[in-house]
Amino acid sequence: DSGVTQTPKHLITATGQRVTLRCSPRSGDLSVYWYQQSLDQGLQFLIQYYNGEERAKGNILERFSAQQFPDLHSELNLSSLELGDSALYFCASSVGGAVNTEAFFGQGTRLTVV
């Protein structure tokens, strides 16, 4: 158990809908990262927050947004969902905000868009 909690574990929704994925980082970790893992795109970095502020941005679509709350949990919002958004979404957390500090991954939320 990495200490990173992601909910829900599975999510099935229809095209055009909006969903929210939640991540609770390890106790004491200030940084949260979001990744998307799909069969065609592989594992892609989406976005990072550090202590409530956006720190780095990757290949995140405009239909997607994220935020980190004062209690350090994070949410990834996916809207106007398309079939191609079906993927495993991982959250990771680390103590520091730099990539050289080890990130611990949650077990992921599997999103299926039908």
Partner 1 sequence: AQSVTQLDSQVPVFEEAPVELRCNYSSSVSVYLFWYVQYPNQGLQLLLKYLSGSTLVKGINGFEAEFNKSQTSFHLRKPSVHISDTAEYFCAVSENAGNMLTFGGGTRLMVKP
User: Which residues are at the interface with partner 1 (CB under 8 A)?
Assistant: 2, 4, 33, 42-45, 48, 55-56, 58, 90, 92, 97-100, 102-103, 105-108
Task: Check residue 60 and report its DSSP letter.
Answer: -
Q: Provide the greatest CA pair distance for the chain.
A: 38
Contact indicator for 21, 13 with CB cutoff of 8 Å: no
Closest distance between partner 1 and the C-beta of residue 77, in Å?
A: 20
Closest distance between partner 1 and the C-beta of residue 39, in Å?
A: 10
> Which token pair is 47?
């976005």
- Residue (14 or 27) nearer to partner 1, CB: 27
